C-alpha cells in the first residue's frame, strides 16, 4: 500500500491506513517500535505534523502506545483489533450490498448461499 499525495483521502489518514496495513502484514509486530513522525515525514516527503496526525489516530484507537522518551510501539493486540474492526465494518457493508443486489435481481436466499459456497470452493 502506498500513500498517494493526489488522492482525495487526507494524507494523515493514508499514513494511519498504511501503518495498519504494515501491522496486518506482520511487517510491524506487537510491541515493536514504529516509525517516528520525522521518519514518516522523510519516507513520504510530507510535513512531520501531518505524519504525527496519522500516528495520533492509531494512538487514539489504542493500536499504538507511547513509551516516554522512546517513541511509539505497536499494541499487543493491534493486529487482532484491526482485523476485527475491518471485518465488522467492511465485510458487513459488503454483505449488505450483496444481499440488496441479490434482492434486486430476484435471487433467492438459497441461490445466493449456493453462489457464495461455489465462490468459496473456487478460491480454495
Please give, one letter per residue, the 3-state secondary structure of 3-28. Answer: CCCCCCCCHHHHHHHHHHHHHHCCCC
Distances 16 to 7, 25, 36, 84, 102 between C-alpha atoms, Å: 14, 14, 13, 17, 34
The arithmetic mean of pLDDT across residues 98-119, rounded, is 95
pLDDT value at 5 more than 70: no
Same domain, 53 and 99: no
Do 69 and 54 share a structural domain? yes
Q: For residue 27, give the C-alpha cell.
A: 511487517
Tell me the pLDDT tens digit for each residue of 49-108. Answer: 999 999 999 999 999 999 999 999 999 999 999 999 988 888 899 999 999 999 999 999
Same domain, 31 and 69: yes
pTM given for the model:
0.75
Neighbours of 48 (CB within 10 A): 14
pLDDT over threshold 50, residue 1: no
pLDDT digits (tens, 9 = 90+) for 9-40: 899 999 999 999 999 999 999 999 999 999 99
Judgement on whether residues 20 and 66 belong to the same structural domain of the protein: yes
Query: How deeply is 37 buried, as exposed, middle or buried, from its count of CB atoms within 10 A (0-12, 13-18, 19+)?
Result: buried
- Does the residue 118 lie in any domain? yes
How many folded domains does the chain comprise?
2
- Which residue segment(s) compose the domain that 56 sits in? 11-76
Amino acid at each position: 500500500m502506498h500513500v498517494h499525495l493526489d488522492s482525495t483521502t487526507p494524507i494523515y489518514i493514508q499514513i494511519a491506513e498504511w501503518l495498519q496495513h504494515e501491522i496486518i502484514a506482520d511487517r510491524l509486530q506487537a510491541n515493536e517500535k514504529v516509525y517516528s513522525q520525522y521518519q514518516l515525514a522523510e519516507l513520504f516527503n510530507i510535513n512531520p505534523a501531518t505524519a504525527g496526525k496519522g500516528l495520533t489516530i492509531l494512538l487514539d484507537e489504542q493500536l499504538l502506545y507511547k513509551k516516554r522518551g522512546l517513541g511509539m510501539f505497536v499494541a499487543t493486540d493491534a493486529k487482532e483489533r484491526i482485523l476485527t474492526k475491518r471485518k465488522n465494518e467492511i465485510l458487513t457493508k459488503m454483505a449488505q450490498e450483496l444481499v440488496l443486489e441479490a434482492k434486486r435481481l430476484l435471487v433467492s436466499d438459497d441461490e445466493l448461499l449456493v453462489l457464495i459456497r461455489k465462490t468459496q470452493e473456487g478460491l480454495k
